[in-house]
Amino acid sequence: MTRFAAPISEQIWDMKYRLKEADGTPIDRTVEDTWRRIARSLAEVEADSAKWEEKFYTALEDFKYLPAGRITAGAGTGRKVTLFNCFVMGTIPDSMAGIFDMLKEAALTMQQGGGIGYDFSTIRPKGAPVAGVAADASGPLSFMDVWDAMCRTIMSAGSRRGAMMATMRCDHPDIEHFITAKSDSARLRMFNLSVLVTDAFMEAVKADGPWELTYGGKVFHTLQARDLWNKIMKSTYDFAEPGVIFIDRINKANNLNYVETIAATNPCGEQPLPPYGACLLGSINMARLVKDPFGPDAGLDVAALDDLVATAVRMMDNVVDASQFPLEAQAQEAQAKRRIGLGVTGLADALLMVGLRYGSEEAAAQAEAWLKQIARASYLASVDLAKEKGAFPLFDADKYLASGNMMQMDDDVRDAIREHGIRNALLTSIAPTGTISLYAGNVSSGIEPVFAYAYTRKVLQKDGSRTEEEVVDYAVQMWRDRFGDTPLPDYFVNAQTLDPQAHVKMQAAAQKWVDSSISKTINCPEDISFDAFKDVYMQAYETGCKGCTTYRPNDVTGSVLSVSETSDKAPEADSGADVIYMAEPLDRPQALEGHTYKLKWPDSEHAIYLTINDILVNGHRRPFEVFINSKNMEHYAWTLALTRMISAVFRRGGDVSFVVEELKAVFDPRGGAWMQGKYIPSILAAIGGVIEQHLIRINFIEGEGMGLKSDPQAQVVNLDNAPRGKACPSCGQFDMRMVEGCMTCGSCGHSKCG
């Protein structure tokens, strides 16, 4: 019998976590082999490795404890990858040499699979004088563009792209440009953006007072705080960015505020970290710990929870010693503080199993109680580790107990820490779990509500055919198994039908006992008023949240699948989407119209010829296929690969202008070339430019550097009335949704944030 609760779970394991040879031959024959590989690897640092290997295996078995994807995919493989998920890089110096040293460090970190965060507030604003060169500064956003281009070229561990978070203080002179940077859909695509909001700013907003934008002790501009707040809110209302981070609250609540100051977070925001800070992640699967689900004695098995948390903490502490680090500074930071981020997934499913409606007062109180239990168990387990292996090197009992979350911790835990020390400075965090929750049987993600009770996905078979399979939420499947076709109770709710205030209530309840932060998306209806939208953020601030991320579907951010609150049927299509994507490739007509372009790359003996053919859909031309040819045999393999891949993308329909953006961003380390007065960073970028000019020529895009602003062929034919969201760039399914701050595919788990 398979251990997987659903076919999609096995597919996720095979695609993302299963250890294979370079040619794709499986090394992990079963998921038990994967669990054994992880358990053995993390037990190697123990004196009694055989004992702890079995204990670790038991925790992993049946998906009870879910290490983050980098640990599951990388532990015990012998590959040069980091097992840490989250990094905040060093403070960026305000000098050209220092800035590009930081760029190099970022590239090295992402190359090993780490997502990174940076505070760009340390770079002088645009127009400020630069001493010694008789020039004005270009400002932090110009350097963010350089980071963005670098990130496009780095593929992280496995098939993950690097993910980045950029923060900027609310009093930086360039903050208004930062807020609106991503209103250009082609700019900073590899970044998430968040504004560092201070308590002083929030008080000025509430008082409608003035706000000074300063750098280096100089006031550059003064404006009304409420005007700046409204600008942040309007951008978020329209474009879903930037997020808001309440930075003073983060620093006050930090257990290590006596030795560090935080100014940035990892890409999804759940890990506020100091310069060179690193953190690994893992989640307790709450859905697996409910006894008698939906029955009269339904409840969480607290004894099993305590035991599982203690084992998980030990495993995660061992990762600190087992992992490689891209930079020595990161290794030193991790060793000095031994920070870990243990969180949960399946919380909403667990609440359903005990009969509670997500977002209700009772559910918030239960979530708070469960997370306090996890916090207590985590801290006491870390005390036990300190007795055995020693406290983290920067531990100072008096300062530690007088800082951050330790001020509210129970007296028995504080007494134990004072007597024995603690192994890990911070222990809890709630991370995005989109992929691992699918892997664990499609449990609800993190502390998010259930997104959809069920939906249908198309699966490409080895023979090229496609089959349909139903993907059912874990708790819904348990209900079906126990009660058959009995309708779901009225306490079953989902992300789309919940009031935004209910989302905030659950985040605030969880935050009380999470010493780092929480990755959570507050879903807002498309028709929410701007004033009501702003109230969501004010509620988050007033109720103790450390940050706030919202998602309001619209023409810019994209529509989400609509889900019935009372039905467990698959979600239905949102007919308001501007672009309808196709599940199947277009058929090729007998004849097509096209153009052939000659591209002569400097210093190359032979030209490259590009033929781009178009198809007519509803009276409008769109690109259908590309042929790239050259007499230079050194070019044969990659031009053939580009021909096949780009043509395959074009035949899928929808907005394919991203192909241009991706090609134009590729740079050749050997150097580019000047062509027609422009510097082109690589021959691939030149090909992207030719394709772009063709798309402009046929009116598929509006102009150079512009993606698909509106659908030029009205609506592409909807072939099968399947649910429609944005197409996943990894698997092509139309199941992209905002999960914990990142657009995530419900079918394959692909996430922008890695």
Set 251, 266, 494, 613: catalytic member: 266
Dig out the tokens for 59 from the structure. Answer: 């925790």
Strands (E), 77-184: 86-88, 115-119, 129-130, 135-136, 164-169
Max Cα distance, the chain (Å): 81
Selection from 405, 337, 341, 409 nearest residue 380 by Cα: 409
Selection from 264, 503, 226 nearest residue 360 by Cα: 503
End-to-end CA distance of the chain: 31
Selection from 63, 165, 147 nearest residue 104 by Cα: 147
Separation of alpha carbons 246 and 213, rounded Å:
18
Do 18 and 28 form a contact (C-beta atoms < 8 A)? yes
Peptide bond into 553 cis (omega under 30): no
266 a catalytic residue: yes
Selection from 123, 107, 4, 736 nearest residue 443 by Cα: 4
524 a catalytic residue: no
List, in order, residues 6 or more apart from 355 with CB less than 8 Å away.
294, 298, 489, 491
Phi-psi region of 704 (alpha: psi -120 to 50; beta: other; left: phi over 0): beta
Do 271 and 220 form a contact (C-beta atoms < 8 A)? no
742 a catalytic residue: no
Residue 674 main-chain phi, psi, to 5 deg = -90, 125
Dig out the tokens for 6 from the structure. Answer: 């659903």
* Residues pairing with 625 in the sheet: 613
DSSP 160-185: PBP-EEEEEETTSTTHHHHHHGGGST
Q: What is the 3-state secondary structure (H, E, C) of 291-310?
A: ECCCCCCCEECHHHHHHHHH
Set 53, 241, 260, 270: catalytic member: 270
Selection from 520, 528, 526, 527 nearest residue 504 by Cα: 520
Residue 431 main-chain phi, psi, to 5 deg = -100, 165
Selection from 583, 589, 657, 581 nearest residue 623 by Cα: 657
Separation of alpha carbons 125 and 138, rounded Å:
7
Separation of alpha carbons 212 and 724, rounded Å:
45
Set 86, 151, 170, 268: catalytic member: 268
* Residues pairing with 138 in the sheet: none
Separation of alpha carbons 437 and 443, rounded Å:
5
Residue carrying the six token digits 């490739």: 585
Dig out the tokens for 680 from the structure. Answer: 């082109």
Separation of alpha carbons 424 and 309, rounded Å:
14
Separation of alpha carbons 570 and 582, rounded Å:
18
Dig out the tokens for 448 from the structure. Answer: 């998010």
Dig out the tokens for 492 from the structure. Answer: 């079953």
Selection from 353, 432, 329 nearest residue 109 by Cα: 329
Give the containing element (helix H, strand E) for 367.
helix 361-389
Q: Known catalytic residues? A: 266, 268, 270
